[in-house]
Structure 1
Amino acid sequence: MPRLKLLILLCAITHPAFAGPVADLRIQGSNTIGANLGPALVAAMLAEQGFHDIHRVPVTPPNEYSIVATKTLGQQIRVDVSAHGSGTGFSTLKAGQADLVASSRPITDRELVELEALGDLKSPEAEQVIAIDGLAIIVHPQNPLNQLNTEQLAKVFNGEISTWEALGGVGGTINLYARDNQSGTWDTFKELVLSRAARPLSGTALRFESSEALSDAVSKDPHAIGFIGLPYIRAAKALAIVDGASQPMLALNSLIASEDYPLSRRLFFYLPPNSRNPLAKALVMFTQSAKGQAIVAQNGFIAQTVQASHVQSGAHMPEDYQALTQQAQRLSVNFRFEEGSATLDNKARQDLLRVIDYLKAHDKLNKQVTLVGFGDAKDDSERAQLLSKLRAMTVRRELVKSGVILREIRGYGAQMPVATNTEDEGRVKNRRVEVWVY
């Protein structure tokens, strides 16, 4: 694009008059997605559709961008991205000011009811998991502490525990660092840690709009502790986290991809089922493709691309499960279910397609797969084991439709929990099916 033409375009975009014409696609919501990942996905999608001269242009106020592109015959297109927090995405969708919501948390029941005129936003077409993120708990790199449990975390960020000595460490007073109230990262931390323990955030916490600024501040303060999205650990030290009776888990890619890590979370696009915006639909489809998931990984989040890896055997594992770790590799996705249901959730439906593609590509359709089911604690351990095996059979039925012949199905009941069984969300995480390949 000639320099003069670009200058005119920049002036137009930053000038209030530019707000007149409605953009071809309006994305509102999460700062976690909108800061970099969303614009990167939009740019890559437009490039695949044959657009060129693709520019990301800041707009007033901060955390808003317009992405402008041109086709060979001069057709121009504009995508507006506003990243002021997940909640703003649903409110602007209701007001008719958004076509697509970017959210770093699931839609709430209240939002679902308020938006029911747009269709069922919990339907498989509407609720699209686009990436997995993990909240890392970070401290100064020289802090000797290596792990905390979620109960301790709640007490620390509430101020009930105020010294490192109370946690078995050293260093005196704990300084708290937290994201601001508009952040989806804050929403997730509040939901996974503070709300579960019915505790508010301490008023002494320093609040940050920028993930980078928070991480850098923690890495320079020997007394600090903070929470951050996975791509922003930077120079800080991440702690291993325990939830209930789970094993200590670091914010590792493999544990976040399977959503076993206690502070893992899903990132979403919400597209109204009755949407007539072709760009919104094209962006969702591109994001779920291999190319789109590569963009997810390039931006520091965990892609949903299926991979196989060896699992280290541990004393907490049943004997025959330990043998399985020696003989086979575990795929990077777990199948999970709708709350209180034996129905696969929306992410699991997408993961089925990915797993089937992986099995076909690696010639593992014939007795090369074992499904392993787990569940939450029940009064009757035999019933828990039966239910865990039934969940694995639900996945088997779907795989069989695509020609997969399984080697074996196992159920381990409530053994090897990855989350506490005292909360609904923890029980949902424990009700899972692993896929192992030989």
Structure 2
Amino acid sequence: MALFTSARTIGKRVLCLAFLALFCASPLSVNGAVPALPAKDQPVLSIHGSNTVGAKLAPMLIAGLFEAQGLQSIKIASTKENEQRISAIDSKTGRTLYALVAAHGTGTGFAGLGNGSADLAAASRPIKDSEYDSLASLGNLRSAQSEQIIAIDGLAIIVHPNNRIASLSVAQVAGLFAGEIRNWRELGGDDLTVELHARDDQSGTYDTFKELVLGTQNKTLAGSALRYESNDQLSQTVISRPGAIGFVGLASVGSAKALAIADGDSEPMLPSTALVATEDYPLSRRLFLYAKPTAQSDWTRAYLDFAHSAAGQAIVEKAGYVAQAITAIKLPAQPDMPQLYQDLANDARRLTVNFRFDEGSARLDNKAQRDIGRLIDYLQRADKQMNAAVLVGFGDARGDSARTELLSKLRAMAVRRELARGGILVKDINGLGDQLPVASNTPSGRVKNRRVEVWLY
């Protein structure tokens, strides 16, 4: 799968194209009216949860919303560790409005929703079954009204900049963090003791790492690992320790060295913009906001709408994450590809959007439902509404191969149906079954392999 290695080289160009796509899009529609004001001295919005979302992105989006609403003198100030107050003045009334962000880990966000202290739960992983069940009285927190994907992040495995190791498999990363590989020379590196640095148990970043790395290899984190509440603090420690290894969100890599990661039969992939945007990178993940399905305040709805807007997604990029903007990338053909895929690679460009599905299902998930609208807008702006797009469906290597191939085509047909409702006539659809996996045949890997790619002539 050498196409992924080649795709890494175009990351910077894709980022530039993403900015163009965002800023050329229609601006956020703002009617100039500030949403209803709360009682005096009460926050207009309170967000609890993920440090990955809350340390930078959530406050920046609040500041952007305040600016879009015409508020003045916008300030972001730390009130205590991992908590921020974003304030602004409403020039019409002279009132100071403010919002609060408490970024103490994904689990605290769902607790805040449950006890009423939070309007939104920020999460760097999907809601767990136990959390969903305990909050059932609030409504369906997995509904499209509640679960909002606002950005894509890559979980980067970082080491000291002078570490000679360039890439690792998921199995090797798991072995390191389980304490089974104790010296870098065991992996071809220098004679240095491995030092482990990990996020704390409240962190969605740790939950993601535990699921995508440790869980897939039936490992547990070594007791010697130092734990951190903050991504940035962990990254800063790693760059000061020659034997250190850690994991952080994409925005917190800083001057540390990010390693290329291989999962199963895939080639090693760096967390580049293109590979994270398509979620092909093995340790890519979605960043979420969860709201109560009903009884959302005006400010909650305004904030969610802004986060999904072109202006909001531009802030996502500025914060160091990958926006949900669609761009076209050229991938080289490889001799081990199916002929149909080689033809696409030679003559078409792949779009940086994937549609994903549950096991045995052809129903689009919550992100896919929003991505349909983004794709329709992209194709309309590019004047590619008629016979220009090709959909290629894939499945996971589990069960009967003939059924998998049929289901992969049904998934492509489901995307075609939704595009047709938006006036888009697709050129062709194909189902390649379990061919060209981008991840291992594990539960988390199969999620990535069940996909529909979009190619454009």
Q: TM-score with structure 1 length normalisation? A: 0.92
Q: Which amino acid aligns with 1:64?
A: E
1:251-290 equivalences in 2 (<5 Å): 251-290=271-310
Aligned residue number for residue 87 of structure 2: 68
Q: CA deviation at 1:246?
A: 1.9
- Contact 2:334–2:342 at 8 Å: present in 1 too? yes
- Contact 2:348–2:455 at 8 Å: present in 1 too? yes
Q: Work out which structure has the larger RCO, using CA pairs closer than 8 Å and 6 or more positions apart in sequence.
A: 2
Q: Which amino acid aligns with 2:73?
A: D
CA displacement, residues 55-107 of structure 1 (integer Å, 9 cap, x when unaligned): 22322x32112212121221332211111111001011111111111111111
Q: Which amino acid aligns with 2:446?
A: R
1:20-419 equivalences in 2 (<5 Å): 21-59=41-79, 61-73=80-92, 74-419=94-439
- Contact 1:180–1:207 at 8 Å: present in 2 too? yes
Q: Which amino acid aligns with 2:81?
A: P
CA displacement, residues 16-47 of structure 1 (integer Å, 9 cap, x when unaligned): xxx99432211111111111110110011111
- Structure 2 unaligned spans of 5+: 1-38
4+ residue stretches of structure 1 with deviation over 4 A?
none
- Contact 1:171–1:223 at 8 Å: present in 2 too? no
Report the 3-state secondary structure (helix = DSSP H, G, I; strand = E; otherwise coil) of the residue aligned with 1:282. Answer: helix
Q: Which amino acid aligns with 1:430?
A: N
CA distance in 2, matches of 1:344, 1:112: 20
- Contact 1:316–1:416 at 8 Å: present in 2 too? no
Q: Which amino acid aligns with 2:355?
A: F
More moved, 302-311 vs 172-181? 172-181
CA distance in 2, matches of 1:326, 1:159: 45
Q: CA deviation at 1:143?
A: 2.2
CA distance in 1, matches of 2:296, 2:256: 45
- Contact 1:31–1:83 at 8 Å: present in 2 too? yes
CA distance in 2, matches of 1:418, 1:146: 20
Report the 3-state secondary structure (helix = DSSP H, G, I; strand = E; otherwise coil) of the residue aligned with 1:201. Answer: coil
CA distance in 2, matches of 1:208, 1:65: 18
Report the 3-state secondary structure (helix = DSSP H, G, I; strand = E; otherwise coil) of the residue aligned with 2:219. Answer: coil
Q: CA deviation at 1:379?
A: 4.4
CA displacement, residues 320-368 of structure 1 (integer Å, 9 cap, x when unaligned): 2122111111111100013442210000011000000000000001100
Q: CA deviation at 1:222?
A: 2.6
Seq. identity, %:
52
- Contact 1:386–1:411 at 8 Å: present in 2 too? yes
Say if 1:143 and 1:325 are closer, same or farther in 2 by CA, change over 3 A. same
Report the 3-state secondary structure (helix = DSSP H, G, I; strand = E; otherwise coil) of the residue aligned with 2:353. Answer: coil
Count of matched residue positions in the alignment of Structure 1 and Structure 2:
418
CA distance in 1, matches of 2:359, 2:404: 16
More moved, 174-183 vs 132-141? 174-183
- Contact 1:179–1:207 at 8 Å: present in 2 too? yes
Say if 1:378 and 1:28 are closer, same or farther in 2 by CA, change over 3 A. closer
Q: Are 2:414 and 1:432 equivalent residues in the alignment?
A: no
Q: Which amino acid aligns with 1:436?
A: W
Q: CA deviation at 1:134?
A: 0.4
- Contact 2:329–2:350 at 8 Å: present in 1 too? yes
- Structure 1 unaligned spans of 5+: 1-18
Superposition RMSD in Å:
1.7
Q: TM-score with structure 2 length normalisation? A: 0.88
CA displacement, residues 226-256 of structure 1 (integer Å, 9 cap, x when unaligned): 1111122222221111112222211111000
Aligned residue number for residue 7 of structure 1: none
Report the 3-state secondary structure (helix = DSSP H, G, I; strand = E; otherwise coil) of the residue aligned with 1:55. Answer: strand
- Contact 1:29–1:83 at 8 Å: present in 2 too? yes
CA distance in 2, matches of 1:405, 1:361: 15
CA distance in 1, matches of 2:289, 2:422: 27
Q: CA deviation at 1:209?
A: 2.8
